[in-house]
Structure 1
Amino acid sequence: MSKKLLYIEDDADIGRWVNEDLTDRGYKVVWLTSGEGALEHMADTDLVVLDVMLPGLDGFTIGQRLKKDHPDTPIIMLSARTALEDKLHGLLFADDYVTKPFHPDELAARIDVQLRRFGKIAPSFVQLGHLQAHLEHNRLIDTRTNEDIVLTGKQFQIFMFLLRHPNQILTKEQIYESVWGEPYMDGDKTLMVHIRHLREKLERDPGCPEIIETVRGIGYRVRL
């Protein structure tokens, strides 16, 4: 289910840009141009993005009121005011303070951090022994070294297909046709070669695979 963000910003250009970007990222955004009516939306809001300079009550006052009534909803202040005293004032009640100008990826990352911190979304990774697969960010991490594991495009597509069907035995035909988009020809070794190289990058011991299991005569499986 899409997370609902309450976005309060009176600048039309900035507001339109941020609203469109966050909507494109899958969030349900309610955009207000002042704090009037903000409390009415808080019951089902997952996070607030709040500008400081607003008509009527300023963002600091609005944020304090919202936080008082809804302490479990994270608030991110978004402001062109960069003075230390402004940041400290904001962080007395807000959970983060982002200064303008900013990159949309930075705001999205900070939103993600606060949603996870407040338990609004579950961790988006799968743990397979020493391997951590971050599905949303297309990252694989070896937790023994905390280093990213770099896969080729086809290796990544194969592994993601297996992860999307955990504990299921997938035939060679199913995997090949999903990844390559063309009919599988019996005897073709292409998939087998890719699986071998994939195991060399993922497994503790490629000769005794623990992550990608071979089901003899049928195909492969990833157990969770």
Structure 2
Amino acid sequence: MTRILYIEDDHDIGSWTVTDLQKRGYQVTWLKTGEEADTHAGDADLVILDIMLPGLDGFTIGQRLKKQWPDLPILMLSARTAVDDKLLGLQFADDYLTKPFHPDELAARIQVLLRRGTPAETRQLALEHLSIKLPGCQIIDTRTNEEVLLTGKQFHIFMYLLKHPGQVLTKEQIYESVWGEPYLDGDKTLNVHIRYLREKIEADPSQPTIIQTVRGIGFRVRLS
């Protein structure tokens, strides 16, 4: 089933749009702000994004998503009809539809973008010098164009962090997700695996920038 990430703060527009898309067979995740967009975009086949949002505006969110997932189709959906707004949006977005709109037109534009776009199964994630193919997590070091090979545990740790971009994950969360058993306070197993993982993916393992340590809490991957 095609997965759509829909970011819209207007309740009425959002409700009937989600209902219509679901009737057409799409799986829709509806966010009313862009704060968690990074978390959900990796699982989406397409993003529908409003411009006027609380907090970060749609332009900022769209640019950030496109930088992280260059192959992810983005459809801007906004009441702003000025040519300058459209031109700004189309610098990163794949299409721009103004409100009010007919649901059939929205559906048609979605179909065009999906035919043009790359399926989520082969999506590329750019992370510093790494190019990562999701969800299989094939990692290419773009400096050498060589694949970075991980062990099973390293793979699962990295994938778990990538599925929660920007989120600080405790050692307990990571350990229990990867090992499937309770974390014992003071256990250094996770730290050892993180150290070896960093040696493979970081430009400078002694000063890691991909997997960041949040002192006293755990780790996070920041996509920027």
Normalization by structure 2: what TM-score?
0.53
The alpha carbon displacement at 1:42 in A equals 1.4
CA distance in structure 1 between the aligned counterparts of 2:71 and 2:119, rounded to whole angstroms:
10
Distance 1:32 1:96 in 2: 20
* Distance (whole Å) between structure 2 residues aligned to residue 64 and residue 12 of structure 1: 24
The match for 1:94 is 93
Higher relative contact order (CA 8 A, sep 6+): 2
Unaligned runs of 5+ in 2: 121-224
**What corresponds to 1:16 in structure 2?**
15
Once residues 98 and 4 of structure 2 are traced to their aligned partners in structure 1, the CA distance between those partners, rounded to angstroms, is: 19
Secondary structure of the equivalent of 1:52?
Answer: coil
Distance 1:101 1:43 in 2: 29
- The residue number in structure 2 matching 1:63 is 62
Q: Any idea what the Cα deviations from partners look like across 1:131-183, whole Å, max 9, x if unmatched?
A: xxxxxxxxxxxxxxxxxxxxxxxxxxxxxxxxxxxxxxxxxxxxxxxxxxxxx
Residue of structure 1 equivalent to 2:114 = 115
Over the matched positions of the two proteins, sequence identity in percent amounts to 68
Q: Specify the alignment match of 2:34 in structure 1.
A: 35
Tell me the equivalent position of 1:144. Answer: none
- Corresponding position of 1:54: 53
Counterparts of 1:42 and 1:56, CA distance in 2: 18
> Does the 8 Å CA contact 2:71/2:118 hold for their aligned counterparts?
no
Counterpart in 1 of 2:135? none
Gaps in structure 1 of 5+ consecutive residues: 122-224
Task: Map 1:1-224 onto structure 2 (within 5 A).
Answer: 2-120=1-119
Q: CA offsets, 1:2-53, max 9 Å, x none? A: 1000000000000001000001100000000000111001121100000000
Q: How far 1:119 moved relative to its partner?
A: 4.0
Residues 85-116 of structure 1 show CA distances to partners (whole Å, capped at 9, x for unaligned) of: 00000000000000000000000000000000
CA distance in 2, matches of 1:7, 1:44: 12
Aligned to 2:91, the other structure's residue is in SS state: coil
Give runs of ≥4 in structure 1 deviating > 4 Å: none
The aligned amino acid for 1:40 is T
| CA RMSD of superposed structures (Å) | 1.1
**Structure 1 CA distance, aligned partners of 2:94 and 2:42?**
18
Question: Whole-Å Cα distance in 1 between the matches of residues 15 and 7 of structure 2?
Answer: 11
Q: Secondary structure at the match of 2:63?
A: helix
1: CA distance, partners of 2:77 / 2:119:
20
- Residue identity in the other structure for 1:96: D
Where does residue 166 of structure 2 map in the other structure?
A: none
C-alpha displacement at 1:120, in angstroms? Answer: 3.3
d(CA) in 1 for partners of 2:29 and 2:118? 21
Aligned residue for 2:42, secondary structure, equals helix
Max Rg structure: 1
Q: Give 1:9's aligned amino acid.
A: E
